[in-house]
Amino acid sequence: MQRELSQFTLSKNQRAILLAFIYVDIFVFSTWLAYNLRFDFGVLPAEHQPHMRTIWSWVWLVKLGALWATGQFSSLLSYFSLPDLQRITVGQLPITLALIIGWYCVDALHYMSRSVIIMDAMISVAGIAAMRLMFRVLRLRTEEDSTAANKIHVAIVGAGGAGAALARELQSNSKYDPVAFFDDSEAKRGTQVHGINVYGSIESLIDHDLQGVTEAIIAMPSANGKRIQEIVHFLNDEGIQCRTIPSVNQLASGEMIASIRPLEIEDILGRDPVDLECGEVSAVYSGRTILISGAGGSIGSELCRQIINLEIDRLVLVDICEYNLFRIRTELDGTGVALHSELIDIGEESRVRQLMKRHQPDVIFHAAAFKHVDLLESQVEAAIQNNIKSTNCLAKAAEDFNVGRFVLISTDKAVNPTSVMGESKRAAELLVEAYAQRENAVKFMSVRFGNVLGSSGSVVPIFDEQIKTGGPVTVRDKRMTRFFMSIPEAAGLVLRSAAMGVNGDRFILDMGKPMKICDLAEQMISLAGMTLGKEIDIQYTGMLTGEKLHEELIYPDEIMEDTSHSKIRKIKCSEPNEQQSLQSLITTINSWNAGSHTCNRAWLHNLLKEHSLPSN
């Protein structure tokens, strides 16, 4: 019986004949039962007996034709759902209406019982539906019996809409068997969803006889990271594999099982979702030409993905890396926005000016930068060239071509920098601030934030690779902390900052509390289903040159101001004497020539010392 019950290994014609026989039997039985209900299962009055031959035999044939027209001879009997019931009802209803209308208009039909006509319709539809449902139940039971031993017994954490939809899809899948719901809501405890019991919070799992559960799926798209972290820790302690459904948008696609994925560190970071107020953001960028330098990088590519949905006119992708540029261009193709790829070094002034003439951008997001702290300690000239000179070149071009907004993507490493990378980014911040003080129509601004999870070269992909190879996971120092946020959150807040910003604004994104790197490593090990100290170890290697034990987001004397967004703050404007110092910085950089200066760490340090704020 594991074969399709609805086909019975018959040919198409044989199957049609068999179905016709079954349907006709249901119609005859429905009419017989309708008459017996009408006349209390007594003797059928003589005036009604001829109707079986003269009228009902034709009605049965017409009903059979209606089933054929609505696809009930071609659909598989063992797959029955509400749309099938709807098609059966719609196909039979006109016949019943025709008989009722005919009762008033045709003498031959006037002596029929109207109640019999109505009851016959109801019984015949119910009979066909019951027959189809019987085949479905037989198929499901057969499949359950044949696959029960191999099914994965799953607990679903979250009995809301997402969990209910997931359970329904899992029930129709031969691989999974959802056996329990767990939900924090007291109101749902003791109820059922799709026949599955709803228990209390996931911590109550140990109070129930559910030893067969080997996997749990978290179906709580709106839960905060802290709660997800608690659930994951409990399930890991119980030795139960844990996965999740990623987002409401993916749930809307209808592919529930396909969207199930392992938990990632972003899921348990503990940061609540941020309202980016996209309506206001879209109004600023709609119909504009946007240029993004470093478009193939971690932040640059996410800016591309988000801004492409804001009804912009054109998007200019600028990057010096051919592969990164190709990858983001390929990803964005087909979105309906005009894309222009530019493979150039933005430190080449002539190329940048040609770029500006060609595209006339309204907004520039400057995300291009070298960022690897340890590597840049021995590559001072490259850091100066890319992080300082390129920023100056692009900012000057923005000023000359009257770009509407210029936004620098900065980093927390620019605060009290101890590395070449941090000092070069600090100089870039000061350059943009200096251009904001000049007489031009451009709104120059910068956005400073900490580490983003999953960016190229960050600890998350490094730890992930180390865990996959069995470790050890290397951490610089047990005390080391960093600020973290997700790439989509960072890019979204950058877009929001730029939309609200005016000339000279220096924004700081709310990064929350700093997180210990060793705690991050432990959580990633736990998510991978491994036990620290048994299957994998953490090895402390010591800090590299230029690294700091703790990063900072602001200088001690930077005065912070609130903005209209709770996750975005800005630094109060500089004093006039500081503005004059910044202007001399532009003069210094404009006159800078790699052939006439020794581009070493001392030169960079002195540059900041001479032109930075007094406290620096």
Helix axes 517-527, 459-468, angle to 10 degrees: 40
Question: Which of 253, 341, 327 has the alpha carbon at shortest distance from 297?
Answer: 327
In the block, tokens 């016709």 appear at 20
Would you say 381 and 599 are in contact if contact means Cβ atoms under 8 Å apart? yes
pLDDT of residue 429: 94
> What string of DSSP letters covers 25-82?
HHHHHHHHHHHHHHTTTSPPPTTTTTHIIIIIHHHHHHHHHHHHHTTTTTS-TT---H
Tokens representing 319 are 């990057």
pLDDT value for 345: 94
151-263 is classed in which CATH architecture? 3-Layer(aba) Sandwich (3.40)
Domain boundaries, the chain: 12-147, 151-263, 283-450+492-509+558-611
Q: Do domains 151-263 and 283-450+492-509+558-611 have the same CATH topology?
A: yes
Closest CA to 174 of 142, 217, 212, 213: 142
Q: DSSP for 85-125?
A: HHHHHHHHHHHHHHHHHHHHH-HHHHTS-HHHHHHHHHHHH
Alpha carbons 260 and 269: distance in angstroms, whole number: 19
Neighbours of 64 (CB within 10 A): 17
What confidence score (pLDDT) does residue 147 get?
A: 55
443-449 and 176-182 beta bridge pairing: unpaired
Query: From CA 281, how far away is CA 274, in angstroms rounded?
Result: 14
* AA identity, residue 347: G
Rounded CA-CA distance 504/433 in Å is 6
Query: Model pTM?
Result: 0.69
Cα separation, 20 vs 384, whole angstroms: 83
CA distance to 34, 311, 360, 413, per residue, from 286 (Å): 66, 5, 16, 33
pLDDT along the chain (616 residues), means of 10: 44 72 81 78 70 71 76 61 72 75 69 75 80 73 60 86 84 80 88 88 81 83 78 83 67 56 71 59 90 95 93 95 95 92 94 96 96 90 92 95 96 93 94 91 94 80 89 93 88 92 92 89 84 89 91 90 90 64 77 60 82 52
Q: What is the CATH number of domain 283-450+492-509+558-611?
A: 3.40.50.720
Contact between residue 218 and residue 235 where contact means Cβ atoms under 8 Å apart: no
Structure tokens at 401: 């071509």
CA distance 508 to 408: 12
- The pair of structure tokens assigned to 455 is 């960016």
For 94, the token pair is: 């006109």
Of 255, 311, 261, nearest in space to 283 by CA: 311
- Interatomic CA distance for residues 338 and 30, integer angstroms: 64
Buried b (16+ CB within 10 A) or exposed e, 66-105: bbbebebeebebbebeeebbebbeebbeebbeebeebbee
